[in-house]
Amino acid sequence: MRAGGGLWEVTKGGYGKFFGGYISEAWEPILWQGVMMGATIYIVAGGVQKGLERWNRVLIPALALLVIVLAGYSMSLDGAAKGLAFLFSPDWSKLFEPEVYLTALGQAFFSLSIGMAVFITYGSYLSAETRLPVSAGATATGDTIFAIIAGMAIFPAVFAFGLSPAAGAGLSFIVLPGLFQIMPGGELVGVLFFLLLVFAALTSMASLLEVPVAFFMRVLKEARAKTAIIVGLVIFVIGIPSSLGFGVLGHVKWGDKTILDILDFLMLNLALPIGGMITALFVGWAWRRDTVLGETGFAEDWLGLAWLWLLRVVAPVMVLFVFLRKVGLI
């Protein structure tokens, strides 16, 4: 969002330095954080159906279509085969490392918003006719397919440009601008892509903001707009250290981890898996069996009982086992 037309004036191969310079600025990250939070508050203040659903129905399919186009072009570059081999050639020895499973759990929980109470909140807005198993399966499948296509858009270009695939979370902001720079109509495609990416981030932020807003609306009996503003401002203030973590507060580290690295580790490896485990235990054991199966759309047949057993026993035990192995307790 920062650069506008200046983004395409960066020397080829210089986007890593460009991105690093931006995130280390003293005030710009906070400025854009405020802009994004303001837009998020506006969407949430409009409610789920008038706010989130209306935006999601148009913007997310448009982003998915554009990513498919980028994947097709990226795979046509010289050296793209190395990127595809990197993406789709598994290292089977990693199956014996517990850290892999904890990382995968954290990524899955983050990507699907599990353990954050997002789906619990949105579930309260669904009609009684909604088939939850079908919706859950479609969500997980769609998320996985989109992630694979995004990988096919990024990693072939990474190897074609001679970059390191270990560049981290900013990889798409380093690789994709270089891809737009060389592709026909790349400036237009690049502007559309990053605009849609901003809107996708907005809908994700709105999904997360909806959870505390819905809670405090019920507890404090306040209007939606007022609650969204107050909660949004509190979250904005809490997020300031992360915005400054590569600049003014770049010296604040735990070992070699920056503020954002620390929060990322705590959320992906601790908070989300534990939150998901607690949710599974609560739904599986605190609710009556007939209530759980009825509300989720399962019948008291072998499939429903198998799902309930997975929820009550297998999922919590596996999450706990992987977590304890990760921290070295077993």
Encoding tokens for residue 2? 């920062």
Higher pLDDT, 207 or 174: 207
Nearest Cα neighbor of 224 from 40, 47, 37 is 47
From 202, 233, 251, give the residue that closes a domain.
251
What does the pLDDT look like over 38-72, one tens digit per residue? Answer: 989 988 888 766 656 776 777 778 888 888 988 88
Residue 11 maps to a domain: yes
- pLDDT score of 160 more than 60: yes
pTM for the whole structure: 0.73
What does the pLDDT look like over 277-292, one tens digit per residue? Answer: 888 898 889 888 888 8
- pLDDT score of 300 more than 70: yes
> Are residues 215 and 225 both part of a single domain?
yes
Residue 160 maps to a domain: yes
From 251, 275, 307, give the residue that closes a domain.
251
Q: How high is the pLDDT of residue 255?
A: 78
> Are residues 47 and 70 both part of a single domain?
yes
Residue 26 burial (CB count, 10 A): 9
Residue 100 maps to a domain: no
> Are residues 206 and 59 both part of a single domain?
yes
> Are residues 124 and 233 both part of a single domain?
yes
What residue numbers bound the domain in which 330 lies?
253-330
- Give the confidence band of 234 by pLDDT, cuts at 50, 70, 90: very high
Residue 96 maps to a domain: no
> Are residues 195 and 285 both part of a single domain?
no
> Are residues 218 and 293 both part of a single domain?
no
Q: How high is the pLDDT of residue 170?
A: 65
Q: How high is the pLDDT of residue 232?
A: 95
Show contacts of 240-246: CB within 8 Å, 24+ apart: 240/30, 240/33, 243/29, 243/30, 243/33, 244/26, 244/29, 244/30, 246/20, 246/23, 246/24, 246/29
Residue 44 maps to a domain: yes
State the average pLDDT over residues 96-119.
Answer: 78
Residue 315 maps to a domain: yes
> Are residues 177 and 62 both part of a single domain?
yes
From 233, 251, 269, give the residue that closes a domain.
251
Amino acid letter for position 169: A
3-state helix vs strand vs coil in the chain, percent to 5: 75, 0, 25
> Are residues 33 and 165 both part of a single domain?
yes
> Are residues 62 and 185 both part of a single domain?
yes
Specify the number of domains making up the chain.
Answer: 2
Q: How high is the pLDDT of residue 44?
A: 87
> Are residues 34 and 69 both part of a single domain?
yes
Residue-wise burial string across 95-110, b where 16 or more C-beta atoms lie within 10 A, e elsewhere: eeebeebbeebbebbb
Residue 172 maps to a domain: yes
- Give the confidence band of 4 by pLDDT, cuts at 50, 70, 90: very low
**How far is C-alpha 242 from the chain's CA centre?**
16
Q: How high is the pLDDT of residue 166?
A: 64
Residue 113 maps to a domain: no
Helix (H) or strand (E) holding 193: helix 186-220
> Are residues 48 and 168 both part of a single domain?
yes
> Are residues 139 and 10 both part of a single domain?
yes
